[in-house]
Chain A
Amino acid sequence: MSNFPGGHTNPFGGPSSSGMQRVKEDEEMDTLVSPQGASFQPGGFGRASGSSPFGGSFNPQPVGDADLPANYTLGRRTSVSAESMNPAASASDNWSPPSHSKTQDQISRISAAVAANFLFSHLDDEQKYLVLDALFEKPIPAKGIKVISQGDAGDNFYVVEKGNFDVYIHPSGSIQAGSDGLGKKVASIGPGGSFGELALMYNAPRAATIISTEAGSLLWALDRLTFRRILMDAAFQRRRMYESFLEEVTLLSSLTAYERSKIADALETQKFAAGDVIIKEGDIGEAFFLLESGTAAVTKAENGDKVLLQYSKGDYFGELALLDDKPRAASVHALTDVKVASLGKDGFRRLLGPVEERMREQDPSKRQAGAQTGARAAAHAPHASLGGDGVDPLQS
């Protein structure tokens, strides 16, 4: 493992400047040869390296799974860490992500360049927009400019807009003095390529040197703090939004704040296009839904196409599925593009255990029997006031 100077390091870990550590004998293909996990000779430990107590006395039997890397380095692994980030502390600093205007063409080129990168591929549209917007131009005016130098601290991630760049790696782990101090050229990167993405995670030394090969090149750059801040703010806001939505769900009002935050953690975002059916009348209810954006409509077969009720941001429906296995009493379909957060019955039970009894006390369909709760239920749960009988159309 390389050593990350920006990271926290295990005080019991390896020497801080040793670079790649290997136990030489272990570089070969891993084999499952040591049936005794624990038969040690006294004094067999404590040296920096040495021969295995099992050296050669077993018949190697190769691991058959090609998925396991055979060249695993068996040295001590260094801990890593990024700058401390605290959403509560940053809530008050009025930070907003930097915005650098780009043409639609530029945005689609950058978007294509990062499409295969897992750091970007799990972002939702909103986050992706903020991230792409935050990339700033970095002109590289001349040939021979080192954009990043092997061994240096990592700050930015780069996407090539224009020009070609050569990649050099020196076996020592950093640039050396002298004519061949850059090491070997291992690749070159042209427009649409990208490099330096590890810097978006934490401050690790650069693994290679990148040099411009022509004048008038152009890069897009993104720094770690901006990237991680965008992700953190989005995740933090989404959690708090879910928690506030969940506070309004009558059925869940007997749960503790902690239980609700566990539900908020577990909610999964689903998207529906206008016209898609979210819940189908007659189906057994398996999940409950919070509407995050867009509008949806409730219909019942007996009423034809008539929209009985509309849901918008913050509304919830289908929660009685968490209690019972009854068929849905109505359908819900998306009127616009809709984003919902949902949690299935199984996930709910796994997460919270037997809380149904507590919840049943708050069951809005039961509470309707007591007339005085009708208005309150209607205010908090729009679907519950449907048709004047106050019963959830999805679960009557």
Chain B
Amino acid sequence: MGASASPASMSPSRKLFGENIAETVAQSFGKQFSHDEHRGDERKDPEHDANQAQDMRKAQEQQSIASQHSKEETSSPDEIAEAPAKKKLGQSSKLLRIEDFNLLKTLGTGTFARVWLAKLSKPRSEEEKEGIFALKVLRKVDVIKLKQVEHVRNERNTLRAVAGHPFITTLKRTFSDRECLYMVLDYCPGGELFTYLRRARRFNEPTSRFYAAEIVLILEFLHETEGVAYRDLKPENILLDADGHIKLVDFGFAKKLGNTETYTLCGTPEYLAPEVIKNTGHGKAVDWWAFGILLYEFLIGQPPFWDPNPMKIYSKIVGGHIPFPTVPIDFVRQQQRDRTPSANTGLETQRPSKQTESSQKSSHLTPDQPPRRSEKTRNSQGQEMSLFPAPAARSLILAVCTSNPSQRLGNLAGGVQQVKDHEFFKDVDWDALYKKTMKGPIIPSYSGGIDASCFDEYAPPTSEELQERFTDEMDQGYGEAFAEF
């Protein structure tokens, strides 16, 4: 376990960036200086002035990202939706450099990106010293080679637009140098929900409901306020913060769609919606399909469609039959109860008036009751068996996992509200949830600071990862595309 920043775990990062940094910095300062020199009327040493001004602005920048960390507040959807240009969060910084950060530990890797736990290398105050970040480093050459330029731009722009949402990773700043693009994100110390789910095998119903409900709030915001489809919902992309609330990360496939459709296939095999596989055009409704798969995986421990051969997964998805397991009936009842040790899912709030109101609203369903007689069978030992999960959960899964997106809950008249009104969520206090008045059902064991023990260990960057360089030719072709960073 490399929870702390040992010199050993830091050295790869130095190797990774050491050489290019000096070069890049020199280049960019060089430009700046020659520009200033041409002003002519400067009496003092222009280099010295520029240097000082630069230093001051950079100090402000550092202070700014560190202070946002310490007093991060939840913004309302409307506040977040204000013009991104007005917000500090998510802006591009022309001053920050990779050398301003110490890269402590890899939190995750991909084919063209690596996320580091990072701190400021030259803190100028206690606040800056405390500031902890997740620094996502994308290698331009790989982004281009893997044809992900458009996706990276979408990610940057979406994260900037949504910065401030309580359940979405906060993009503080971006910057770039010749080789890489950098995204300074908030550090979410609880690690991936994926890890907790696999350890527990499956979540009970209250726990599943808590995470599902927070995701509903995310999708409501992304779809209805921002017009964005997320397109890669899965437990791997959901992190837990110190209080057990979720943060959605990795917006590589997020795209502002409004009410139009798009055609590029993307997502994760088990979570792809049928219309994505069939290439008939897809919209925000793909997120509701994936939401159903996710809830299924929370409750049952694995997604409904799987095969070692991906083509067979797709064939099953297009086939449209969602298999539910049969289990002993006691198990169904047990899973519906809240047995969470922290005894606090934040959801089953004591608001009787609200409960009555919402249970009247959707009386067509029968949750929290033993399954209907027709669903019960006996196994060979005479044990009473029933379909799993319980009816309300199954009904929600089936309502969002419809092959035809025009019949999919969340994508119908009423939009997200219909999902929120579903029986499965009948006791959820949505306002309290958004304001995070309660802690989550799983509290990560986080000792504070740079503790990253909730994340898996990753190998340091290989020399192969660093071989290919961003060429002048690429800069001509794609320099413009990365200008926003």
Contacts and interface: CB of A to CB of B under 8 A. Distances in A.
Contacts of A78: 268
B414 A37 contact: no
Interface stretch (A2-10, A215-223, A367-375): A2-10
Contacts of A52: 199, 201
A44 interface: yes
Given A9-B110, A79-B253, A232-B281, A36 B340 contact: yes
A119 B274 CA distance: 11
B325 A63 contact: yes
A84 B445 contact: no
Contacts of A43: 445, 453
Contact of B204 (A14, A36, A352): A36
Contact of A10 (B199, B250, B456): B250
A64 interface: yes
Interface string B204-236: 101110000000000000000000000010101
A33 B201 contact: yes
Interface in A17-36: 23, 26, 30, 32-36
Interface string B363-377: 000000000000000
A37 B406 contact: no
Interface range, A side? 35 or more
Contacts of B259: 258, 261-262
Contacts of B13: none
A39 B340 CA distance: 6
A38 interface: yes
B107 A45 contact: no
A33 to B, nearest CB: 7
A204 B406 CA distance: 30
Contacts of B391: none
A259 to B, nearest CB: 9
A178 interface: no
Interface in B10-32: none
Question: Most chain-B Cβ atoms within 10 A of its Cβ — which of A6, A11, A44, A236?
Answer: A11
A10 B114 CA distance: 9
A236 B263 CA distance: 9
A329 B262 CA distance: 41
Interface stretch (A98-106, A195-203, A319-327): A195-203
B323 interface: yes
B267 A80 contact: yes
A198 B311 contact: yes
Contacts of B334: 35
A351 B283 CA distance: 15
Contacts of A12: 107-108, 110, 115, 192, 236-237, 239, 249-250
Contacts of A64: 325-327, 379, 385
Question: Most chain-A Cβ atoms within 10 A of its Cβ — which of B262, B342, B379, B406?
Answer: B406
Contacts of B1: 46-47
Contact of B148 (A8, A35, A46): A8
Interface stretch (B41-49, B125-133, B302-310, B430-438): B302-310
A40 B200 contact: yes
B34 to A, nearest CB: 37
Interface in A312-355: 347, 349-354
Contact of B306 (A5, A32, A69, A351): A69
A118 B268 contact: no
Interface in A214-263: 228, 231-232, 235-236, 239, 258, 261-262
B253 to A, nearest CB: 7
Contacts of B404: 266
A65 B150 contact: no
Nearest to B150: A84
B123 interface: no
A361 interface: no
Interface range, B side? 35 or more
A35 B324 CA distance: 18
Contacts of A65: 323-326
A354 B413 CA distance: 9
B326 to A, nearest CB: 4
Contact of A81 (B136, B264, B280, B455): B264
A11 B110 contact: yes
A160 to B, nearest CB: 17
Interface string B285-326: 000000000000010111010111111001100110101111
Nearest to B261: A239
B84 interface: no
Nearest to A268: B404
Question: Most chain-A Cβ atoms within 10 A of its Cβ — which of B3, B107, B302, B405?
Answer: B302
Given A68-B304, A83-B264, 20 more contacts: A10-B268, A12-B108, A12-B110, A12-B115, A12-B192, A15-B458, A26-B198, A37-B208, A37-B340, A37-B441, A46-B1, A47-B456, A48-B457, A61-B331, A77-B270, A81-B151, A231-B278, A235-B263, A235-B281, A353-B413
8 contacts: A3-B111, A10-B237, A37-B335, A64-B325, A71-B308, A77-B234, A87-B263, A198-B311
Interface of B: 1, 3, 107-115, 136, 146-148, 150-151, 191-192, 194-196, 198-204, 206-208, 232, 234, 236-237, 239, 249-250, 252-253, 259, 261-270, 277-281, 283, 298, 300-302, 304, 306-311, 314-315, 318-319, 321, 323-328, 331, 334-335, 339-342, 379, 385, 388, 404-407, 412-414, 441-442, 444-445, 452-459
Interface of A: 1, 3, 5-16, 23, 26, 30, 32-40, 42-48, 52-54, 61, 63-65, 67-69, 71-74, 76-87, 118-119, 122, 197-198, 201-202, 204, 207, 228, 231-232, 235-236, 239, 258, 261-262, 265-266, 347, 349-354
- 5 nearest interchain CB pairs? A353-B413, A67-B323, A12-B108, A9-B110, A37-B203
